[in-house]
Structure 1
Amino acid sequence: MRKLFLSAMALTAIVCGMSFTSCSDDENATDPNPDDNNPSATEEAEDLPGEIREDLTLDANKQYYINGTVHVNEGATLTIPAGMTIRAREGFSSYILVERGGRIVAEGTADAPITFTADDETQAEPGYWGGLILNGKARISHATGENGEEPVIEGSTEVDTNYLYGGEDDTDNSGVLTYVKLLYTGARSSADIEHNGLTLNAVGSGTKIENIYVAEGADDAIEFFGGSVNVSNLLAINCDDDMFDFTQGYTGTLSNCYGRWESAFTSTEEDPRGVEADGNLDGNGPDHIQQSDFTIENMTIETLSSTQSMQDAIKIRRGATATITNALVKGSGAIENLVDLTDSKSNADSATSIQVTKEATNVEADQNSSNTGNGTVTIEDGHTGCPTNIFGWTGYTL
């Protein structure tokens, strides 16, 4: 999401983020497939086309590169075989955008996941390349229209405003993502325009997204801009800003999600969080309809960072309604607020309900002092959070 960038901290993050191992003393963060860092010289290499205008199934015997923006056009489907590694050249413009009416089918398996990563992992760092963006036709928050005018029910893609998302089809289908890894994502062109690992713009519930691993990325691991897609089994490791971000009228469910900062993690952002949720885009539409009203089930937020304070483990604001059950916040890292339901633009909707167990040992405040009346927060023992045995396929040990 758009936010202030702390340039004074950037050098620290760059030095810290040179590789999985240089930013952490946790050996779990290493690439579970080190042999993939050096594709065979005999393997045929090919750049993905900039425009995919008709159905394209990638050849499992080739090495593919993202060398500039790849658009999957309306009516076309990009199919990626299980076990394939796609490598991205360095830069903001290296990313895949699935346009409205286009589809991506990336069906990995636990034994043969699909990996999107840097072309040279030995030199990669968070923000090395863009990421994966899906644009759908589901509803987003919007104004009602004035003087008989039709309401605007579309939004523009943050990294390229020429491409729109949104509509009135909450069951829209943008494809399949299963057993997919997204590594070193989050390139930025400015302090306000930056990629996430996985960006879901008005993606509909007909889309299948489960078993996703986002690691060592700049900005957010995942961000939902409206839409109704359900996402399950999501692991986010050392992502620079928010682990799980919701805005612009999102109405789906995120289940079985685990976010971790390792001991040496340092963010370049002003206000990194576990959960950040807005009812409308940037809080600029408090009177809009279709405000975010979503569910999170079985969530763990863990910070072990000795150098970075997390502003809020859970932040719900700007008209959003969140129902969060079986949440666990743990770790030795500093957290300013366990839960904050307030904001200068507007607070969380009063229907917000959060059930969370606090096992974190360095929390300044359980709730922001002005939370009263903005929702129901129950801090109690017994919530177990996200199961960890579902992430064995990533090669990362929790």
Structure 2
Amino acid sequence: MKKKLFFALAIVSLGVTLSCSTSDDPTPKPEPGKDVEKSGLLTANETWTAGNIYILKGKVVVAEGTTLTIEPGTIIKGAQGTEANASALVVDQGAKLIANGTADKPIIFTSIDDNIKVGQKAGTNLTEANTGLWGGVIVLGNAPISVAGDVKTKQIEGIPANESYGQYGGTNAADNSGSLKYISIRHGGITIGQDNEINGLTLGGVGSGTVIENIEIVGNQDDGIEWFGGSVNATNLLTWAAGDDGLDVDQSYSGTIKNALVIKGKDSDSALELDGPEGSKATEKGFTMENITINNNNNTSKIADLRDGLIANLKNILVYNIGTGSTVKVNGADSQAELKAGRITFSNWEAVLPQGLTLDKFIDGANGEEAKFVSNAKAITAVADAKTGANVSVFGWTYAKSKNAF
């Protein structure tokens, strides 16, 4: 009788063990308040919780077929590393990141050097001037791109070419890489090689099935946000003190970027760097940027750099604090041709121009087509007079707002 009872209990125990092992989310539940180190490939679904701080040791890659869910209010810190060992969160093709913060509980990516603690929205020892302390967030999808040779896929910048992950691009314009909402990414952009840094948020071939809303990038050494092709729409974006460009578009991106605030730092390059296709004319697609405010912070670099024969609709844009020599540059014969053909369009621009600058001089390199900008732009005397640009009230949740950056 005792043997039968023991055997029955063993069977029940085995059944419980098997049941637990087949969970959709097998993440071990860490002790609340503890730092949790993450490295390498994530090959099973898991959830990162707000009661812990997650430390990225090198590249943490959400593998194909895997979903990483991050709870509102979670803090993720990147270890510094060097070159190829720089830390970053990479969402590979066919994987998903579900990182839906809220205005009250944003998800924060920052450096391991940041003294921010669980439950806080900011530390006390770093500012927007602290850049390049870790990598950034890289999302890779299967939407179309335009690169040399018209190949369908390419290895993303910031990931060494010998890695097995890092490919982006394809044929599925509606591809879904997940959902990113109310996320603040700070102090990233570490250099991994000569002229090769990681952006705050990199979107490579990301499709329109992906949600990108309410994103803040602070103090990134390279670009704030860069799109490499793809068709994802993005709304309510803020970049502050990027070391390179605020918003950067490449490789025939074909979505809409709506309601964005770009605040330059003293070392920033263009507020908007906008590139066209790198492949053949057959891969051309246009994009739209609308409701954009640019605080140039008296920086002398370009407001917008229009390059490589882009096709773009640029509308409802406000620019102020314009430094000496800072202009909208129509860069190169291919972009000048697109302006002449009406495939670069300006609509409802307003600019607080410095003394002595006129609208026809504010656009540079238009090659006789200045009227296409001037007739759709207006010089105003103060920001308070603006009737266009971003709705900045939606950025009240950001670190930038807490530091009175706007």
Q: Do both share a fold (TM > 0.5)? A: yes
Q: CA deviation at 1:369?
A: 4.0
Give deviations 1:186-234, integer Å, cap 9, x for gaps. Answer: 1112332111100000000000000011011111100000000000000
Superposition pairs for residues 262-273 of structure 1, below 5 Å? 262=265, 265-267=266-268, 272-273=269-270
Aligned to 1:153: 152
Q: CA deviation at 1:347?
A: 4.1
- Over 3 Å counting, the alpha-carbon distance change for 1:190 and 1:334 in structure 2 is farther
Are the aligned partners of 2:143 and 2:206 in contact in 1 as well (CA < 8 Å)?
yes
Give deviations 1:170-200, integer Å, cap 9, x for gaps. Answer: 0000011100000001111233211110000
Q: CA deviation at 1:142?
A: 4.3
Which letter maps to 1:342?
A: N
- Over 3 Å counting, the alpha-carbon distance change for 1:358 and 1:98 in structure 2 is same
For the aligned residues, what is the CA RMSD?
2.3
Residue 351 of structure 2 corresponds to residue 352 of structure 1 = no
Aligned to 2:235: 232
- Over 3 Å counting, the alpha-carbon distance change for 1:345 and 1:321 in structure 2 is closer
Aligned to 1:63: 53
Aligned to 2:120: none
Residue 271 of structure 2 corresponds to residue 274 of structure 1 = yes
Aligned to 2:44: 54
Q: CA deviation at 1:376?
A: 3.3
- Over 3 Å counting, the alpha-carbon distance change for 1:331 and 1:260 in structure 2 is same
Are the aligned partners of 1:155 and 1:165 in contact in 2 as well (CA < 8 Å)?
yes
Give deviations 1:359-380, integer Å, cap 9, x for gaps. Answer: 1426583111443359932222
Residue 296 of structure 2 corresponds to residue 303 of structure 1 = yes
Residue 172 of structure 2 corresponds to residue 173 of structure 1 = no
Give the gaps of 5 or more residues in structure 2: 1-30, 115-124, 380-385
Residue 327 of structure 2 corresponds to residue 341 of structure 1 = no
Give the gaps of 5 or more residues in structure 1: 1-40, 146-150
Aligned to 2:146: 141
Residue 199 of structure 2 corresponds to residue 196 of structure 1 = yes
Matched-pair identity in %:
35
Using CA pairs below 8 Å that are at least 6 residues apart, which structure has the higher relative contact order? 1
Are the aligned partners of 1:236 and 1:260 in contact in 2 as well (CA < 8 Å)?
yes
Are the aligned partners of 2:271 and 2:296 in contact in 1 as well (CA < 8 Å)?
no
CA distance, structure 1, for counterparts of residue 243 and residue 297 of structure 2: 14
Which of 383, 393, 396 is matched with 1:392 structurally?
396
CA distance, structure 1, for counterparts of residue 190 and residue 174 of structure 2: 30
Give the paired residue count. Answer: 338
Helix, strand or coil at the partner of 1:376: helix
CA distance, structure 2, for counterparts of residue 172 and residue 368 of structure 1: 37
Are the aligned partners of 2:240 and 2:264 in contact in 1 as well (CA < 8 Å)?
yes
Q: CA deviation at 1:47?
A: 0.8
Aligned to 1:79: 69
Q: CA deviation at 1:314?
A: 1.6
Are the aligned partners of 1:317 and 1:348 in contact in 2 as well (CA < 8 Å)?
no
CA distance, structure 1, for counterparts of residue 201 and residue 336 of structure 2: 26
- Over 3 Å counting, the alpha-carbon distance change for 1:86 and 1:117 in structure 2 is same
More helix per residue: 1 or 2?
2
Helix, strand or coil at the partner of 1:50: strand
- Over 3 Å counting, the alpha-carbon distance change for 1:60 and 1:218 in structure 2 is same
- Over 3 Å counting, the alpha-carbon distance change for 1:95 and 1:374 in structure 2 is farther
Which letter maps to 1:129?
A: W
Superposition pairs for residues 183-332 of structure 1, below 5 Å? 183-262=186-265, 265-267=266-268, 272-281=269-278, 285=279, 287-305=280-298, 308-310=299-301, 312-332=302-322
Q: Which moved more, 1:290-299 or 1:98-107?
A: 290-299
Are the aligned partners of 1:323 and 1:353 in contact in 2 as well (CA < 8 Å)?
yes
Q: CA deviation at 1:344?
A: 6.3
Which letter maps to 2:136?
A: G
CA distance, structure 1, for counterparts of residue 153 and residue 233 of structure 2: 20
Which of 92, 98, 104 is matched with 2:97 structurally?
104
Helix, strand or coil at the partner of 1:48: strand
Q: CA deviation at 1:131?
A: 0.4
- Over 3 Å counting, the alpha-carbon distance change for 1:245 and 1:103 in structure 2 is same
Aligned to 2:367: 371
Helix, strand or coil at the partner of 1:390: helix
Q: CA deviation at 1:52?
A: 0.5
Are the aligned partners of 1:224 and 1:247 in contact in 2 as well (CA < 8 Å)?
yes
Residue 125 of structure 2 corresponds to residue 126 of structure 1 = no
Are the aligned partners of 2:249 and 2:274 in contact in 1 as well (CA < 8 Å)?
yes
Q: CA deviation at 1:390?
A: 0.4
Which letter maps to 1:274?
A: A
- Over 3 Å counting, the alpha-carbon distance change for 1:375 and 1:223 in structure 2 is farther
CA distance, structure 2, for counterparts of residue 123 and residue 348 of structure 1: 45
CA distance, structure 1, for counterparts of residue 306 and residue 237 of structure 2: 20
CA distance, structure 2, for counterparts of residue 218 and residue 390 of structure 1: 25
Helix, strand or coil at the partner of 2:183: strand
Aligned to 1:16: none
Are the aligned partners of 1:292 and 1:319 in contact in 2 as well (CA < 8 Å)?
no
Are the aligned partners of 2:40 and 2:60 in contact in 1 as well (CA < 8 Å)?
yes
Helix, strand or coil at the partner of 1:67: strand
Are the aligned partners of 2:202 and 2:226 in contact in 1 as well (CA < 8 Å)?
yes
